[in-house]
Amino acid sequence: MAATVSETSKKWSWVNFKQFMKDYGWCYAFIALPFLLFLVFTVYPLITAFIMSFQEYGILESKFIGFENYKYLLENEIFWKSMKNTVIYTVGTVPVNILITFFLALMIFPINKRSQTFFKASFYLPAVTSGITMSLIWLWMFDPTESGLMNIVLGWFGFDQQMWLASSDSALFSIMLMTYIGGHGSGVILYLAAMGGIPKSLYEAADIDAASWWSKLKNITWPLLKPTTLYMLITGVIGSFQVFEATYVMTQGGPNFATTTIAYLIYQHAFQYYQFGLASAEAFILGFVIIIISVLQFKYMSSDVEY
């Protein structure tokens, strides 16, 4: 009797499967190629890098060394310094840039469509410029001599000239300053789109109650933009934890490790010392930190977010 039931259910599932494939097989056929590419170009390198993080990697021969790479990193002063720099950079850039972007969007939103388009395009322009080119321009602006552009501007206000990237005290801040001045394009577009989605009736009701501009901003605009803000916060944190280009082009991690970030350290271990095992271990620690922070952000900040 039991065997008969089993056979029936097997037959029943096979029929179901065939029907399922008939109905939805197309979807799988369509996602097969991207899925294959994902396996080959994302999952496979990820697994390989994970294995490498437990090896003393050599091109011709690698040796398993257990947790030695991780142990070395956790005891390494430069690793912790780079982690600290990365955290300072993230804390110092992401919230500030979100606020700057928000206020830029707030100023652009009320103006007419044509002007909006102009400003959106203008703010987005740096995003289509190569990061290396941008860094080189900033390098020129941060010239520490009296002929440096930033020093000339400071001079107009009576301030002394600064060393900018050449001093441990100001180097990391100088790199952060770059992000404050440029790089708001995509954020502005996102905020403007989200602002356009807020029902006008809410503002009309607030107007009837004689709500002030600040009150409308605080109680309508900002809360309803929370999903966008959360998205920008999470992607911003992930991006800033991976900051590399500016450090690589402008300071090479110096002076005295003041701008050595974790991503730059990974590059240095991989391509200056050919220590790919160590670099992989660093990459996994970085990945782990990013996951933890993202989960925490979702947990504590997305409770009242509506999508």
Partner 1 sequence: MKKLLVIFLSMLLIVSATACSKESSGDSKDKKNGKDVITIWTYPHYRENAEINQKSYEQHLQELIAEVEKENKDIKVEYEILSWEEGDKKFDIALNSGNPPDIFFSTMKPKYIKTGLAVPLDDYIDAEDRKDLEQFAIDNFSIDGKLWAISQWISIHTWGGNKALLEAAGADVAKIQKDGWTWQEFYEISEKISKMTTKDGKKIYGFATQGKNEETFTHLMRNNGVPKSVTEDGEFKWDGEEAVETLSFVKKMMDNGVMPKETAGLDEQKVIDMFTAGETGIFGRTGPYQVRFNDNRNKEIDAGKIEGEKIDFALLPFPHNEGVKEVATGGGGGMWLFKQKKYKGDKHTENAAKVLKHITGTKSSITAATLFIPPARKSGQEMYKDLLQLNTDNGQFIKRTLDYVVPGAKLDPELAQKQDQILNDGIRPKFQGFLAGELSPEETVEQWTQVAESVLK
Chain positions contacting partner 1, by CB under 8 A: 26, 29-30, 32-33, 36-37, 40, 58-61, 78, 132, 139, 142-145, 161, 163-169, 252-257, 268, 270-274, 276
Nearer to partner 1, 130 or 201 (CB): 130
Cβ closest to partner 1, residue 89 vs residue 164:
164
CB of 16 to partner 1, least distance (A): 21
The residue (of 31 and 292) whose beta carbon lies closer to partner 1 is 31
Rounded to the nearest angstrom, the gap between the alpha carbon of residue 165 and the centroid of all alpha carbons in its chain is: 23
Q: Which is nearer to partner 1, 166 or 211 (CB)?
A: 166
Q: Mark 87-100 as b/e (b = at least 16 C-beta within 10 Å).
A: bebbebbbeebbeb
CA distances from 8 to 18, 21, 177, 200 (A): 15, 20, 69, 59
Smallest separation, CB 51 to partner 1 (Å): 16
Shortest separation between residue 139's beta carbon and partner 1, angstroms: 8
Q: Shortest Cβ distance from residue 31 to partner 1 (Å)?
A: 10
DSSP secondary-structure letter at 23?
H
DSSP codes of every residue in 197-245: TS-HHHHHHHHHTT--HHHHIIIIIHHHTHHHHHHHHHHHHHHHHT--H
Ramachandran angles phi, psi of 63, nearest 5°: -125, 130
In the bound complex, what is the minimum distance in angstroms from residue 33's beta carbon to partner 1?
A: 5
Closer to partner 1 by Cβ: residue 5 or 60 = 60
